[in-house]
Amino acid sequence: MTRLSDREAMLLFRRVGTGLEAGVDILRIWELEAGQGPPLRRRYMSQIRERIGSGQSLATAMKDCGDYFSKMAIQLVNVGEMTGHTEVVFLRLADHYQHTINVRRGFLAGIAWPALQLVAAIGIVGLLILIMGMLPTQVDILGFGLVGTRGLVIYLFIIAAVAGVVFLVIQGLRRGWYGQAPLVMAMHIPVLGKALQTINLSTLSWSLALALQSGLDARRSIRMAVNSTQNLFYTAHLEGIDKSILDGEEFHVALRKTNVYPDEFVDTLQASELSGTQAESMMRLSDEYRQRAQTYLKMLAMFAGGVIWAGVLVLIIIMVFRIFFVAYLGPINEALEMMP
């Protein structure tokens, strides 16, 4: 199933949010969207307009488009409809996707040079395999029997297979093929876990602020907020949180009992509940977490670049030692063995 790209989602949600904020009729907005773009996009936009016109909620209409919209977007649109802040949700989603695009660009820029060097090193090894096979005395620099044209073909096949596996793993993680388990495990990885945590807490804080501003009851507010993270690390504790709220406990008590929320977040929530400023405090906290997430994601880019650098260095060292032992020490050892 084709999914809306981050850039397309950013532009679409920005237009929808701006139109709603300006007071344009929602049916008119989706009618305009249905008249542009590729056939699949026009079909889904037209379907959404028809479903809304027949009385369905916008979130349900988006959900009926399969995987075209992300689960996070659908969940937050549902929050927006229930709280009466749909235009705010769309504009915030547009900001989210713009932020995601900027982070991805920064990440790719950070690893571009190391990645280029890795490709160059792989290419040089392939060239050496080909050249060494052309020598009168063929030299196996890798020690795996890869020499000459045949060795080069096998070497390139192995590289392509590894690249294919990496690509499938990345695509699977992006599209959720492996369920929530990888995401939960990632929460325990240093730096990566912190980045995911701050992004999730930013979304949770923002959703909770919207719910509270609309006057929803405590149970629905916290349930929508936790569900908006779309992370099993947090949603797995929803029943316990709901039970605590039913018992009359406040948000900070219910969340602290799960032992998965950082003390800083729970303490801030506690202070806001004592002062009666939950919505305002959660909105400010959401922005703070977003800024922190940017820092952690930059650190991830630096770490990924460092890993690639290390891979290039290890590859070069292996090649140097292999050439030294095979091409230099090898003939010397053979000559010594032939001496009487």
pLDDT in tens, 262-271: 999 999 999 9
Q: Whole-number mean pLDDT of the chain?
A: 82
Residue 340 clears pLDDT 60, i.e. is over it: no
Average pLDDT over residues 100-110: 74
Residue 48 clears pLDDT 70, i.e. is over it: yes
pLDDT at res. 311: 78
Spans of all domains in the chain: 6-95, 113-340
pLDDT at res. 224: 81
pLDDT at res. 268: 92
- pLDDT-derived band at 251, boundaries 50, 70, 90: very high
Find out whether 195 and 297 touch, Cβ atoms under 8 Å: yes
Map tokens 């045949």 to a residue: 150
- Protein fold of 6-95: Receptor-associated Protein (1.20.81)
Nearest to 265 by CA among 211, 208, 217, 210: 208
Residue 98 clears pLDDT 60, i.e. is over it: yes
pLDDT at res. 1: 52
Residue 130 clears pLDDT 80, i.e. is over it: yes
Sign, CA torsion 91/97/101/102: positive
- pLDDT-derived band at 43, boundaries 50, 70, 90: very high
pLDDT at res. 127: 84
Round to the nearest angstrom and report the end-to-end CA distance of the chain: 73
More confident residue, 332 or 313: 313
Average pLDDT over residues 71-76: 80
- pLDDT-derived band at 297, boundaries 50, 70, 90: confident
- pLDDT-derived band at 197, boundaries 50, 70, 90: confident
Percent of the chain at pLDDT exceeding 90: 26
Residue 175 clears pLDDT 70, i.e. is over it: no
Joined tokens for residue 277: 């400023």
Q: Which of 93-107, 191-205, 239-253 has the lowest mean pLDDT?
A: 93-107
Residue 322 clears pLDDT 80, i.e. is over it: no
Find out whether 261 and 255 touch, Cβ atoms under 8 Å: yes
Give the C-alpha separation, 14 to 33, whole Å: 12
pLDDT at res. 73: 83
In terms of pTM, does the model score above 0.85? no
Residue 154 clears pLDDT 80, i.e. is over it: yes
Helix 251-258 × helix 263-275 angle, to 10°: 170
Sign, CA torsion 145/150/151/156: negative
Q: What is the 3-state secondary structure (H, E, C) of 109-148?
A: HHHHHHHHHHHHHHHHHHHHHHHHCCCCCCCCCCCCCCCH
Give the C-alpha separation, 10 to 14, whole Å: 6
